[in-house]
Chains A and B, each alone.
Chain A
Amino acid sequence: GAVVSQHPSRVICKSGTSVKIECRSLDFQATTMFWYRQFPKKSLMLMATSNEGSKATYEQGVEKDKFLINHASLTLSTLTVTSAHPEDSSFYICSARPTGTSGGRYGYEQYFGPGTRLTVT
């Protein structure tokens, strides 16, 4: 159980184009999803927290107009990298927190997708 899928797994695009990455929770509902990026030999960097039916909360330094997040249903969140540039090339990973876990003092785990390798040429 607790499977998260991401699509595509790998994408190459030209500079200036936009790329959409989908994150789906397959066997559970997720009110909250998270988008991370990871550079080689670096820790996971949280980009934004996506809440179903509301605007995403972006981390400091992350351009919300460049990284558009839509969490339209309890099982799907999308990240669109607009006007991509080579410096946007990275490994993007989403995770989902099952609905019903309080996220309070008792904590909760996150279930991650397999990641999307974006290369902008």
Chain B
Amino acid sequence: SQKIEQNSEALNIQEGKTATLTCNYTNYSPAYLQWYRQDPGRGPVFLLLIRENEKEKRKERLKVTFDTTLKQSLFHITASQPADSATYLCALDRNAGNNRKLIWGLGTSLAVNP
């Protein structure tokens, strides 16, 4: 079955540094991959979507890469701020007939220390 792995341990970094989160997947070739942010007790918030034919995508301080050979996506936050502290979720599409669905990773908790 499809499996998604994200850094299981919390990531602690200093304000101003670049945070790098990893998403690895097996047994599947998704057409696209998404990253979401989730704060405690809240629903996820969409951040970025990257397609299988795209190597990299940027949005402000965020950058996502997608290596379909390695079956890996990296999510970077540059010039990190304490407000970036949250759990970041990786999700892959799974085509299921007429209804495309997302498969979710467990998420990586990021703490940015001032």
Contacts and interface: CB of A to CB of B under 8 A. Distances in A.
> Is this pair of chains taken from one and the same complex?
yes
A26 interface: no
B93 A107 contact: yes
A43 B43 contact: no
B46 A109 contact: yes
B79 interface: no
A114 B106 CA distance: 18
A49 B99 contact: yes
Interface of A: 4, 6, 32, 34, 41-44, 46, 49, 51, 57, 91, 93-95, 103-115, 117
B48 to A, nearest CB: 9
Contacts of A113: 43
Given A106-B51, A107-B51, A115-B41, A42 B106 contact: yes
A16 B51 CA distance: 45
Nearest to B105: A43
Which 9 pairs between the two chains have the least Cβ-Cβ distance? A112-B43, A107-B32, A109-B46, A44-B104, A43-B104, A93-B43, A43-B106, A115-B43, A103-B100
Given A51-B99, A105-B51, A112-B43, 6 more contacts: A32-B99, A34-B101, A43-B104, A91-B41, A115-B41, A117-B41
B102 interface: yes
B16 interface: no
Nearest to B99: A49
B82 interface: no
Nearest to A103: B100
Given A93-B43, A107-B51, A46 B34 contact: no
A46 B43 contact: no
Contacts of A108: 49, 100
Contacts of A41: 106
24 contacts: A41-B106, A43-B104, A44-B104, A46-B102, A49-B99, A49-B101, A57-B99, A93-B44, A95-B44, A104-B100, A106-B51, A107-B34, A107-B51, A108-B100, A109-B49, A111-B46, A112-B36, A112-B44, A112-B46, A113-B43, A114-B42, A114-B43, A115-B41, A115-B43
